[in-house]
Amino acid sequence: MGNESFQFIDIIFLLILVIYIFNRYKEILGSKPGNEGEKIDEKKAQLLYEMITKEVEKIEDKVEIVNISELSDIDKKLVKFKNFDKEQFLIGAKRAFEIIVESYAKGDKETLKPLLDKPILDAYAKSIDDRKEKEQKAENDFIGFKSVEIINAEEKSNDVVNIVVKFVSEQVNLLKDKEDNLIKGDPQFIQTIEDVWSFQRDLTSKNPNWLLISTKK
């Protein structure tokens, strides 16, 4: 269920609350149309305040139950993370995937640095250096995503969250020698590649970047 649906449910309960409070207000204060000048008894006003507070708490609990019960198991975890926006995260994850794949092919270690955890960065850097030593070059043509979904999420410690994303993308990947001869790949063949990447971030950090901490096919 999306945020729009949550807001719709909230509006329904709010409307019910307004109608309910209006009817109870009339019962407790004995108000009738045309009695604008009637004074409100202090004890009755206090009783009204307590009644409204209790009913608001009850309705908030009901809204919470309705929302959570209709979420997937993954989304039930995600809604508990502070300052986490699923849609914005997926937009950022897709962009990070493209940048990392393209930068790795180009051998651009500087661009990779702020996006990768140190063990992953070291592994990527070694692969780039090995390729350079053999005088080989990689070419990547990123076509697009077929699907992107969060498949797991967990809080490792206070506010430090790991989110696992499965990317299914279409790419053309080539490996060439220094003479531009094709070593591996087919420029006419679009590969469908499935990657499972784990991202980590402290949600209280001012740094908006999620670090890539592990990858697997």
* pLDDT tens column, 98-134: 999 999 999 999 999 999 999 999 999 999 999 999 9
Residue 130 identity (one-letter amino acid): D
Angle at which helices 118-133 and 86-106 cross, to 10°:
30
**pTM here?**
0.69
Residue 214: per-residue pLDDT: 96
Residue 131: per-residue pLDDT: 97
In tens digits, the chain (217 residues) has pLDDT values of: 444 444 444 555 555 665 666 666 656 555 555 555 555 566 666 676 667 666 666 655 554 544 666 788 899 899 889 889 999 999 999 999 999 999 999 999 999 999 999 999 999 999 999 999 999 999 999 999 999 999 999 998 878 999 999 999 999 999 999 999 999 999 999 999 999 999 999 988 888 889 999 999 8
Rounded CA-CA distance 112/83 in Å is 25
Instruction: Give me the residue spans of the domains in the chain.
Output: 3-70, 78-216
May I ask the CATH architecture of the domain 78-216?
Roll (3.10)
Rounded CA-CA distance 198/212 in Å is 6
Residue 217: per-residue pLDDT: 83
Residue 47: per-residue pLDDT: 72
Provide the strand spans (E) within 50-124.
none
